[in-house]
Chain A
């Protein structure tokens, strides 16, 4: 079995990409015992912060872990390799940590984190590349080849690789999209997000994945239960993106914000303690995405926890 690589992406900012990434990683690891790798391609490093804390992101960088170090190895012409740059433990859930302690790993999360330095590293790479008559397209293609080769030996180790992509189309972001087997599109039930999602969907369909509809999993996030929001969400499903897979609607909730603020690098919480009022939404997200994975890969996953 080889990992499904899914890009969590939308050119519209603020639609919950990083939150969806972390909820999905937690849900798949907790309920299905999946081995999940989260790759953060966004220099804002939000999902890295949510998994590792600010201190943890900095510590990872200091230890030579992170996407910006992978980019450095690309710039130095080294043999593609990703394993040395991965943080093997990005688990925040007490149940997963305890199972590991008892030598019965039932789900795990690793991280190839980002760091704000990533954008600086990208800029210097782009300047160097363009000074040698390269173009954004040739750079994103070269990065995609490098990453693909670097991750090839790791694919059998994971069930799913989640690529948290930034809300822009830098060469690195485009490389991430080129690596993806599937595309997870978080969006909000309002007019600006709907239009932004349409723009992104059209671009990906044209330049990255002509068969996008069957590979696209849409999640309506930060949902406020108003007549207007219900109408927009319904139009998304029935009209604008009617040929896509839809995950559950994730409600706007203070619990989600709290759940993403890890107290310290050595802080753990139970699944229900972390997600409280949105626990059942995270469970449904994991269930629905596992159905999507089964349809994409033919693999099956049984629940290890209720």
Chain B
């Protein structure tokens, strides 16, 4: 790797990490992907949860954990998660409260995980 004239190695790498930090701050989806790749476990702010929380991944654990993430979401975000994860159609969501939708999300995500996860595990 070539050297950049006038910069120390730390300053040189700082420029890269500053760019990465800025992108992660504004892009929760990328942040979630990076955290996942690194194998870490972090807490995202409520506003970002609808973009990054996976109902399938959370349905593999205790229901209380699932509810603590999705139960706190606003109705619009819950609907967004349901739609983007193919867990409900508009028709299915019509007339349901946030609590009913989260319950439906859990039941359907848990059912799909059960049906799709290899029994070898």
Interchain CA distance A245-B107 in the complex, whole Å: 45
Give the CA-CA distance A267 to B89 in the complex, in Å.
7
State which of B87, B91, B107 has its C-beta within 8 Å of the C-beta of A269. Answer: B91
Docked CA distance A39–B115 (Å):
22
Q: Is A202's CB within 8 Å of the partner chain B?
A: no
Please tell me if the beta carbons of B112 and A267 are within 8 angstroms of each other in the complex.
no
How far, in whole Å, are A267 and B83 apart by their CA atoms in the complex? 12
**Does A54 touch B at the CB level, under 8 Å?**
yes
A273 pairs with B89, CB closer than 8 A: yes
Which of B92, B115, B116 has a CB less than 8 Å from the CB of A267? B92
Chain A residues with Cβ below 8 Å from B115 are: 53-55, 58
Contact A270 B87 (CB under 8 A): no
In the bound complex, residues from chain A placing their C-beta under 8 Å from that of B91 are: 94, 267-270, 273
Contact of B89 with A54 in the complex, beta carbons under 8 Å: no
Chain B window 86-121, contacts with chain A (Cβ cutoff 8 Å), 1 for yes, 0 for no: 111111100000000000000110011001100000
Query: Does A152 make an interface contact (CB < 8 A)?
Result: no
Residue of A nearest to B108 (CB): A264
Q: Do residues B89 and A268 form an inter-chain contact, with CB atoms below 8 A?
A: yes
- Does B116 lie within 8 Å of A263, measured CB to CB? no
- Give the residue name and chain of the B residue nearest to A58 (CB): B115
Chain B positions 45 through 79: 1 when the CB is less than 8 Å from some CB of chain A, otherwise 0:
00000000000000000000000000000000000
Least CB distance, A279 to chain B, in whole angstroms: 14
Name the interface residues of A265-295: CB closer than 8 Å to any CB of B.
267-270, 273-274
- Would A263 and B90 count as touching, CB distance under 8 A? no
Question: In whole Å, how far is B107's beta carbon from the nearest beta carbon of chain A?
Answer: 8
Q: How far is the CA of A263 from the CA of B55 in the complex (A)?
A: 13
Residue of A nearest to B94 (CB): A94
Q: How far is the CA of A21 from the CA of B72 in the complex (A)?
A: 41
Most chain A CB atoms below 10 A, which of B86, B91, B108, B111:
B91
Q: What are the residues of chain B within 8 A of A269 when measuring CB–CB?
A: 89-92
Chain B residues with a Cβ under 8 A of chain A: 86-92, 107-108, 111-112, 115-116
- Known: A54-B116, A268-B89; 9 extra A-B contacts, CB below 8 A, are A54-B115, A94-B91, A261-B86, A264-B111, A267-B89, A269-B90, A269-B92, A273-B91, A274-B89
Q: Could you show 18 A-B contacts with beta carbons less than 8 Å apart?
A: A54-B112, A54-B115, A55-B111, A55-B115, A94-B89, A263-B87, A263-B88, A267-B88, A267-B89, A267-B91, A267-B108, A268-B89, A269-B89, A269-B92, A270-B89, A270-B91, A273-B89, A274-B89
